[in-house]
Structures are given as structure tokens and as C-alpha cells.
Amino acid sequence: MSSTFTLIDPSTGTAFDEVPEHDEAETDVAIERAHAASLAWRETAPGERARLLRRFGDVVEAHIDELAALEVRNAGHTWGNARWEAGNVRDCLHYYAGAPERLMGKQIPVAGGTDVTFHEPYGVVGIIVPWNFPMPIAAWGFAPALAAGNAVVLKPAEVTPLTAMRIGELALEAGLPDGVLTVITGAGSVVGERFVTNPLVRKVCFTGSTEVGKRVMAGCAQQIKNVTLELGGKSSNIVFADADIAAAAAAAPGAVFDNAGQDCCARSRILVERSAYDEFMGRLEPAVTGMRVLDPSDESSEMGPLITAAQRDRVAGYLDDVEVTFAGTTPGGDGFWVAPSVVTTEDPSARIWREEVFGPVVAVMPFDDEAEAVALANDTEYGLSGSIFTNDLGRGLRVARAVEAGNLSVNSHSSVRYWTPFGGYKQSGIGRELGPDAALGFTEEKNVFLAH
């Protein structure tokens, strides 16, 4: 019999719901049901799978505001973010609805016969979703996995399960067969661990901390089980003196304080060419102090609370170790609030510079030339994202090629689109999500030779 987990509204610190915490036996039942469903789903005509995914996307579209309201309450997201996130689920489903009829193999010239390749689904894919972006990250996994003919078991984070649970219901409403998309709530150490150890699950997608990602990868290695990992980040925002400094300073807060800094793509290190440093800092301060950090139920809020009291305390611990140069404000009260905060340093070994804070804190450091900027940006175990601000097109391309990160933007902070690939270098992950090839990542390539 399942126990329950209490959900806390992060904006007020008060309990508002209970959800089941499933055990290992219940997880196995869900996986076995998914396995049985996968046998028929993989044989479903590509056009029919495509039609059902389009229908799924349409049903999500009809429930955008409902899903957004759940995320505002459960995760403390702003209304603007939550509506975008629900829309991203719709968009991923519509985009990957084009994949079933395009999972094409090759005909390879050989002597004595014909050689062809096929892309076969794994069967059951386990997707482990974090609490920072519960809806999009779930869809980045299940949309291409379903398109490729797999069944999916999906475990949302314990603290943010509500949108995933509702999306699972919407999948059935859209006509997906029972067991093709199963949402199962529970602890990562129980449900997520069983995705790793149950041999019926043939691929695991995990998004979360690098520390846990290493354990997932090690566990999957016991069965030579395929993994996609999207892990931590400590991304740099590099601002050269020839850039539009006003625009760069105005854009910087959104790049790190969006979702209260709980974003592995957050540009939490800002590198500014020394000759432009004072101007940049002068323009950054009003951009930060002017941020509207309000109760997320307020439609004008630009930043909400942190997800839990533990996360708030963790971020506050980083701030206790440094001198804050300037900061914004919060509404206070019993919610899990931390003000958007800026610190300065010239010490590349400083903890605030090296570690992923995962909160609304950014460290700013000057640099003297392009080579130093690249060296400082690459001096990290992570390599997920980053930005370069410059009016020199050659420099923008040159630095983007030199920075060791999977997703870079020049003169913007946009690096995640559902139709372009996303993933990290180094300890930021392995594999790629999204983009035109994502569905292929949920298949095994089979080669068949037919002798003449």
C-alpha cells in the first residue's frame, strides 16, 4: 500500500495536497504494464501514432491555463513561465508527431545483395524528471520516445508531481492506449532506482544533479542500459567591451534569475571585459533591483520563490559566505524567498564562482582579453550553456567555437528550442535531447543484409 507525500506551496510554506508515494512492487507493476503496451504500440501504424500525438498536443492546448495554474501553485513559477512551459509540452507533441513517418533507415550499397537499416524502438523508456521545469523536461523525453514507438514510464520529482499526473490523464483523454504513457509518483531512491534496475526498462533519461546522474549512469552500466543525462551547469555570460552594454546588462538578470535561478542553463557567471566593467555594473544594478519579485499568483511577477525550505537554506548558505554587491527585494512572509543577488569576485577558485548555486545568485568577474575570457569560461567541470555579447561577428563565432559547452547564444540568452538539439559537455551530461534527431535517440539501429 502506498504512503503519501505532502505538497507545500513554496510561496507560502503551507501544505495543500497529498500524493501517493509508490513502492518498488507498484513500480514493477507499472513497468510490466508499459512493457505489454509497448508490444502493440510499436506495431501501430506510423500515421496512427502521429495522429494520436497530434491529438495529445491538441488536448494539452485546451488545458494550458489549467496546467499553468497547477505549476504556479505547486512549483511557485510565474504565470508567464508556467503558460510557456505548458505550451512547450503542446509544441513538442506537435513537432514529434511528424517523426513516426520519418524514422527512415538507409539502403547501403553492398556486393551480393541488398543492405538496409531500420530504427527499432527500445520498448520501455524510463524518464526521471526534476522539479525545476516539470512540464517541458517531461515532454522533451516522452514526446520523441512515444513517436519512436516506445512506451514510457515517467517519474516526476516528489515535490512537483501535479502537472505530470494531469498530463498522464490528458494522454488517455487524447486516445493513447492504456500503459503507453504511465506517470508514477514516488521517491527517486525507490521509483527512479527501479527504472535503473528493472531489466524491462531499456533506456533511462535523467535530468538532475551531476552527483545523482553519475549514480544513474553507474547503475545502468550493470545492464548496459542506454542513458541520456542532462545534469548541472555553471554557465558563463561573456560581455565584450564592443557589445551593446546597455542591452547586455538589461538582458543579464533574466538569464540567471529566471525561475529564481533554478535552471541548469542559468548564466550564473558573468565575465565582463575590464574596460566596460564599470559601465556594465552601473547598468546591471537597476536592472536587478527593479525586478518584480512577487507572489507568483500575481500576473506581473517576474520571479517567484525557491522550491523548498531546504533549497532556500542552501542558497542562503552561499550568500552567507560572500559580500553581496547589490540585491533586489522579495515579498517576505513564510514562503521560500531569496532576493536576486549579485556578488563580485576576481578569484576563480571562489566557491561562489565554481559551484552550482541553483538559486538567484550571480557572480561577476572582469577579464582583460579574449583568451582570458575563454579560459575562465572553460575553467569548470560543467559545459551546458552560455552567452557571448559582442558586435564583432568573427569574435562571436570564434568564442562560441572555443567555449566548451553544448548550447551557446551570441547577443542573446536563448539556447533551448524544441526543434534544435540540447545537451551538455563534460559533467553537464551525455547525449542530446530535442531537435530533429531526438526520436532516433530512442531507437536501436538494426542492419539487415539480404543475399541475392
Catalytic residues: 230, 264
Per DSSP bridges, beta strands 201-207 and 124-128 are parallel
Backbone angles phi, psi at 102, to 5 degrees: -125, 15
CA 50 vs. chain centroid, Å, equals: 24
User: How many CB atoms within 10 Å of residue 45?
Assistant: 10
Count of residues making up the chain: 452
User: How many CB atoms within 10 Å of residue 76?
Assistant: 31
Which position has the grid cell 522579495? 330
CA 92/CA 181 separation, integer angstroms: 15
Secondary element (H or E) of residue 8? strand 3-9
Task: Please calculate the CA angle 228-43-451 and round it to the nearest 5 degrees.
Answer: 90
Q: 260, 422 in Cβ contact below 8 A?
A: no
Backbone angles phi, psi at 126, to 5 degrees: -100, 130
CA 401/CA 68 separation, integer angstroms: 37
CA 225/CA 83 separation, integer angstroms: 35
CA 189/CA 262 separation, integer angstroms: 22
